[in-house]
Structure 1
Amino acid sequence: MTSANRDHDVNFDTASFPPLTNDLYLRTARGEPTERAPVWCMRQAGRYLPEFRAIRVENEFFKVCRSPALATEVTVQPIRRYTGLLDAAIIFSDILVIPQAMGLDVQMVPGKGPHLPEPLRSPDDLSRLTDKQSGYSVDRELDYVYKAITNTRHALNGEVPLLGFVGAPWTLMAYMVEGGGSKTFALAKSWLFKHPEASHELLSRIADVAAEFLVGQIRAGAQAVQVFESWAGELGPQDFATFSLPYLARIATRVKATYPDVPMTVFAKGAHYALEQLAKDTLYDVISLDWTIDPAVARSRVDAAVQGRRKVVLQGNLDPTVLFGDEQTIRERTREMCRAFGPASHIANLGHGMMPSHDPELLRVFLESVHEASSALRK
């Protein structure tokens, strides 16, 4: 693999990308039969890796996101460390680059996480957001992500496909209103009930930016994309159907209109009550599961919903805290997960992201276990 340690020029000639030598993830995401399940992990580039922490010592979080060379380096770090075990890379960025691009100040505070010092407290605050009428350009504001994607495609040298991503509208709205994370999401949810029209306006504007941003990421070289609705589980079924699902569907429809063959994944954490809706009412190729649902149950429900009209692949879903166990436990639980997904096409992953205190070598155990277990199931 080409090292990305040095700050080299970005090559924008996407036609010159190295040929892909491992397309297992892409074949699986399209519903094709494969010799084993591909595996990657959400937040696989991050604070659990000492090589990532070394870069962060001298570089603020969003500086890493905004520097194509640094973003490339941290994206390829896990691919380099786990040579031959990961089947996809995901560009190092953050879901909150969209609120930044829309005019809000977003800071990453050590020990606290994301902080928006001037959140949206009332519908009148929507006027503070930039839009196309005021000269706003998604591509211009987020060009640094496109450059990082193009750069990383070359640095990967075809070893694995590169994924892009965005945060989903409800999740981003929650951050933009709350000013950061929350235990209750009382401020964001009160918007939904007190100001439904303004809420839909905000969700609509975020969805439009997210869709355009994903199209730009694919144009820059992303070979598949994922939409993270991280706070889906904070909504009940009725509110999810009203304030999340339509915007998730809109994003997929708009991206597919331009790139119909690029696989798209949706991860609506905590909203397994909506599996049927996600399967039949959106165009996502892959539905990612958290660890609170049995994969066999999810498979049955999705199949019943689509009734053979299209293929929907499942992704997930080992509880990330299993990686705090010993090697034997990790191997056993990973085998159980693979058996639960069965022989149908699925993408192995965690049910959420890697945690800062995870041992990198125990992630290796998980990756090796997926290779062994899924290969054995398909013989």
Structure 2
Amino acid sequence: MFAPLQNDTFLRACLREPTPHTPVWLMRQAGRYLPEYRETRAQAGSFMGLATNTQYATDVTLQPLERYDLDAAILFSDILTVPDAMGLGLSFAIGEGPKFASPVRDEAAVARLAVPDLDKLRYVFDAVTSIRKALNGRVPLIGFSGSPWTLACYMVEGQGSDDYRLVKSMMYARPDLMHRMLEVNADAVAVYLNAQIDAGAQAVMIFDSWGGVLADGAFQQFSLAYTRRVLAKLQREKGGRRIPHIVFTKGGGLWLDEIAASGTDVVGLDWTMNLGEARRRVGGRVALQGNLDPNVLFAPPEQVRAEVIRTLDSFGAPANADGTTAGHVFNLGHGISQFTPPEIVKVLVDTVHEHSRAQRAGAR
């Protein structure tokens, strides 16, 4: 059904196998920093008009690959499609973040929650298959979802939040309701990601974007436990090939060891972590993804090159002393800013490839 994969560097790095260079892709790589994306979004009329149209979603997913020598594509969608399919009414206004028309704030609303009918998410799976065909084997395709806890934050708050007052109030005052919501979310995310794999996704990523707002103890109970629940239900192989699983918890460096033990293949890191230290702490259990500060991309080209090299050197050569390989996927420590100059992204991507090849040559 799909063309053979020509560049499997990303998948190999995720599984801690040798690679000729460090693969690179960027969170939010198909987005507002690209003029061609803004043009397509204008044609679509709205963000959801873009995300729910198979051709538009395919086009914008491939746009950054036409500009840059990236090693993976990521599905163009949103982390909040699952609660939208639950009936919460997702919308996006220009200049504002996502909003839900029907937040979940009481016992009755929690009781109504259920794993959604996958037909309501058919547009996502159609986009996955379309993108995979359009890639024609160029690079792997990553599918994704928000984590159960991150989805719950938006579902209770109704939108983004500065203090997470409503969701944390429910968590502390009615932990029974929060656990019920998280159970439904976890089962829904697992079904959703497995359907993306069936549709053609070759790796899947769980964005625990708001895990880092939790206190120690609460993180393990209300976020990590439910990420583990998702991971335990995910397909690990499709068509004879492993499907890597990636977990990214923004602000999660404190819990690196516990996240690495969750059953994931790759742990994504934000820019506050030292890659070399993280590599030592995970001890070869998982690959690492990250972790350049996105604001580095507002510096001059020579400084961007220097920071990319510093990040690669911090991780070090991929070969371990015992002959095994430590996997590293280069990425930003969070999503690329909409204000990033498009030409500077080429400097980043090319420097990753050039310097990581030189690292391997020097280690021989």
Range into which the TM-score falls when normalised by the shorter chain:
over 0.9
* Corresponding position of 2:159: 180
Instruction: Write the deviation string for residues 24-77 of structure 1: whole angstroms up to 9, x where unpaired.
Output: 001111110111100000000011110010011132101111111111000000
| 1:19 is the counterpart of 2:4 | yes
TM-fit CA distance, 1:125: 1.5
Aligned partner letter, 2:39: A
TM-fit CA distance, 1:127: 3.5
- Structure 2 length as normaliser, TM-score? 0.94
Instruction: Write the deviation string for residues 66-97 of structure 1: whole angstroms up to 9, x where unpaired.
Output: 11111100000001121xx1000001000010
1:279 corresponds to which of 260, 284, 289: 260
| 1:35 is the counterpart of 2:45 | no
Alpha carbons 1:285, 1:312 under 8 Å: kept: yes
Instruction: Find the residue that maps to 1:378 and give its secondary structure.
Output: helix
User: What does 1:148-187 correspond to in 2, within 5 Å?
Assistant: 148-187=127-166
Q: Which runs of 5+ in 1 are unaligned?
A: 1-15
* Corresponding position of 2:349: 367
- 2: CA distance between counterparts of 1:102 and 1:294? 39
Alpha carbons 1:67, 1:144 under 8 Å: kept: yes
- Structure 1 length as normaliser, TM-score? 0.90
Alpha carbons 2:237, 2:243 under 8 Å: kept: no
Aligned partner letter, 2:316: G
TM-fit CA distance, 1:112: 1.1
Aligned partner letter, 1:26: L
Q: Sequence identity, in percent?
A: 45
Would you say how many aligned residue pairs link Structure 1 and Structure 2?
Answer: 350
Alpha carbons 1:103, 1:128 under 8 Å: kept: no
User: What does 1:74-93 correspond to in 2, within 5 Å?
Assistant: 74-82=60-68, 85-93=69-77
* Corresponding position of 1:288: 268
| 1:198 is the counterpart of 2:177 | yes
* Corresponding position of 2:248: 267
Alpha carbons 2:236, 2:244 under 8 Å: kept: no
| 1:343 is the counterpart of 2:312 | no
* Corresponding position of 1:99: 83
Q: Which runs of 5+ in 2 are unaligned?
A: 319-326
Q: Cα RMSD over matched residues? A: 1.3
| 1:323 is the counterpart of 2:297 | yes
- 1: CA distance between counterparts of 2:203 and 2:236? 15
* Corresponding position of 1:13: none
1:221 corresponds to which of 184, 197, 200: 200
* Corresponding position of 1:6: none
User: What does 1:110-121 correspond to in 2, within 5 Å?
Assistant: 110-121=94-105
Aligned partner letter, 2:66: R
- The structure 1 segments of at least 4 consecutive aligned residues displaced by more than 4 Å after TM superposition are 257-260
Quickly say closer, same or farther: Cα 1:257–1:342, change in 2 above 3 A.
Answer: closer
- 2: CA distance between counterparts of 1:261 and 1:284? 12
TM-fit CA distance, 1:166: 0.4
Alpha carbons 1:123, 1:195 under 8 Å: kept: no
- 2: CA distance between counterparts of 1:161 and 1:56? 24
